Amino acid sequence: MTSRIDAHVRLDTHPTHFSAVTAALTGSQAHIAHLALEAAGWTVVADNTLVLVRIDHEEPYWAKDAATHLSADGITVEITPRLQQAMDEDWTWVEYPMPWCTRSEIREISNQAQKIHDDIRRGQLLIHAHADDGETTFAVGTYLHTGKSVYLRGEDHLRQVADTFDSPGQALRAFEKAHGADMRRGPAPLTATERAAAEARTTLDLTTAKPEPRPEPETIPVYLADSGDHDALLDHFLDTHEDWDRWRTWSGELTYATHESQTLRIEHDDSAPATETAWTIAAYETPVSDRMWHLTATAATPTLMLQDLLHDLADGHGWDTAVGQSLDEASVVAATQPATDAGWKHTVEGRWMHWTAPNGEAGVQFDTFAAQRPGGILPTWLLWAGPAIDHPTWEIAASTHTPTTLLANLAETLTRGTGTRQTTSLSQHTARRHASPPPALPTPAARRASGRPL
């Protein structure tokens, strides 16, 4: 039986880096856990505080591996619920260049790339030169402790040893012959992923990792409520609805969910700033047809609004429309009846019809021009809240053929629902979420092209 060691390790998610993991050590024998984690690739950032940051974004997996070994050695390990959720999450890589590899093989390839990255970062692998052919990066270097030289191909989690040489001179001659005018002295500039990892290792703010006392929330109209935890909302929805499948991109930013019919799809971008689109929901007549309707919501949208929206999708209201059907007056009246019943002010301004809350801080807008051009880029419906419609705190935009039942239910929640709000302002929330930018990724259009576009 393993004897207990007076050491306690608390593993948690990094406060600013989306995939990194922190370890806080306590106990008279904390140094034992300290040494074990350092040997496993963790970086010391303060007394008895370490961080695991990887360029393959597999930190939760390796943190779980570390927890298993620490526990086996008799060290008490605590894993926070949010980190446990990340450990349990199953995600896949989008457009992985070696699709024949299994998930474990992919992890092994990226772990080898991680070791190369760590050897370079720690000065054990000296890079003599690099080259970029427009598609990928190549480099040549020498391991100082063995004298063996290597030819490297790729970046980040895809970097591999493509060839080996017995001496630096031999390696450099071969490299110059292969890359000629593209050859540059020294290592290549850090990638966005490497910069983000370096920042996470050096700028960990320990105060943000500690729970702070929170004031009692106040009950207010739902449109003034805090945005809440969108990730947890989507996870709960998918966990409780087996007719929906999910997959995530390698960066962990985008989650896609598809109904088993393949005609309802959700995209959630958990890295989106508060006022930008974080949710896109689309419905199709068949799995390969054009969209019947689509709806978007910004990142600051209160969870109660999104919760009711997801419930409507689960109840089958997502198909409650007809392709090519015109939007008649009766549909507009039905969709906005909750706002009318709540006494919201109804006005007409040119092509726009407005229903506005008495305090002017929320509303519903219908665009008659956009309704006549259902294939256009302008939204027909807009549910919003904030100082003004042209400066909203959050908004939900919907296309012409969005089901009337779904719109009416959203309007009912907007006008009658209540939520809670803490004293933390939206700007503070946004700054905390995005204090350290995630790795640079392809543009949204490119990302969608590489997966299943909505």
What are the pLDDT digits (tens) for 92-151? 776 788 888 888 899 999 999 999 999 999 899 999 999 998 889 999 999 998 999 999
Residue 305 burial (CB < 10 Å; 0-12/13-18/19+)? buried
pLDDT band for position 181 (cuts 50, 70, 90): confident
pLDDT the model gives residue 16: 85
Nearest to 385 by CA among 358, 413, 364: 364
Main-chain phi, psi angles of 79, to 5 degrees: -115, 125
pLDDT band for position 204 (cuts 50, 70, 90): low
pLDDT the model gives residue 326: 59
Contacts of 377 (CB under 8 A, 6+ apart): none
Alpha-carbon gap, residue 139 to 113, rounded angstroms: 13
CB 166 within 8 A of CB 151: no
In angstroms, the first-to-last Cα distance of the chain is 55
8-88 has which fold?
Alpha-Beta Plaits (3.30.70)
How far is C-alpha 439 from the chain's CA centre?
11
User: What pairing do the DSSP bridges indicate for beta strands 394-398 and 21-26?
Assistant: unpaired
Torsion of CA 354, 356, 362, 367, to 10 degrees: 0
Half-sphere exposure of 185 (CA within 13 A, CB side): 0
What Cα–Cα distance (Å) separates residue 321 from each residue in 243, 260, 297, 401, 414? 21, 19, 20, 7, 22
Least confident of 27-36, 231-240, 404-413, 430-439: 430-439
Q: What is the pLDDT of residues 272-323, one digit of tens each?
A: 888 899 999 999 988 888 888 999 999 999 999 999 899 989 887 666 654 4
Residue 12 neighbours by CB distance under 10 Å: 18
Is 80 exceeded by the pLDDT of residue 242? yes
DSSP notation for 396-435: EEE-TTS-HHHHHHHHHHHHH-EEEE-SS-HHHHHHHHTS
Alpha-carbon gap, residue 395 to 302, rounded angstroms: 10
DSSP notation for 103-170: HHHHHHHHHHHHHHHHHHHTTSEEEEEEEE-SS-EEEEEEETTT--EEEEESSGGG-EEEEEESSHHH
Q: What is the pLDDT of residues 127-137, one digit of tens each?
A: 999 999 888 99
Q: What is the pLDDT of residues 402-438, one digit of tens each?
A: 999 999 999 999 999 888 776 433 333 333 333 333 3
Q: What is the mean pLDDT of residues 325-348?
A: 90
Main-chain phi, psi angles of 160, to 5 degrees: -140, 155
Residue 368 burial (CB < 10 Å; 0-12/13-18/19+)? middle
pLDDT band for position 154 (cuts 50, 70, 90): very high
Give the DSSP H/E element, type plus range, for residue 71: helix 59-72
Alpha-carbon gap, residue 34 to 38, rounded angstroms: 6
Is 80 exceeded by the pLDDT of residue 335? yes
pLDDT band for position 88 (cuts 50, 70, 90): confident
CB 149 within 8 A of CB 168: yes
In the chain, list all ranges with CATH 3.30.70.
8-88
Q: What is the pLDDT of residues 245-280, one digit of tens each?
A: 988 775 667 889 999 999 999 999 988 888 899 999
CB 9 within 8 A of CB 33: yes
CB 406 within 8 A of CB 173: no
Q: What is the mean pLDDT of residues 182-202?
A: 89
pLDDT the model gives residue 32: 94
How many residues are there in the chain? Answer: 454
pLDDT the model gives residue 451: 38
What the block records as the tokens of 45 is: 């950032």
What Cα–Cα distance (Å) separates residue 246 from each residue in 90, 238, 310? 9, 7, 14
pLDDT the model gives residue 382: 97
Alpha-carbon gap, residue 40 to 20, rounded angstroms: 14
pLDDT the model gives residue 150: 96
pLDDT the model gives residue 282: 92
Q: Looking at beta carbons, which pairs linking 360-364 to residues 24 or more positions away fall under 8 Å?
A: 360/388, 361/223, 361/224, 361/385, 361/386, 361/387, 362/221, 362/223, 362/224, 362/386, 362/414, 363/389, 364/336, 364/339, 364/411, 364/414
pLDDT the model gives residue 113: 95
Amino acid at 131: A
Is 60 exceeded by the pLDDT of residue 25? yes
Average pLDDT along the chain: 84
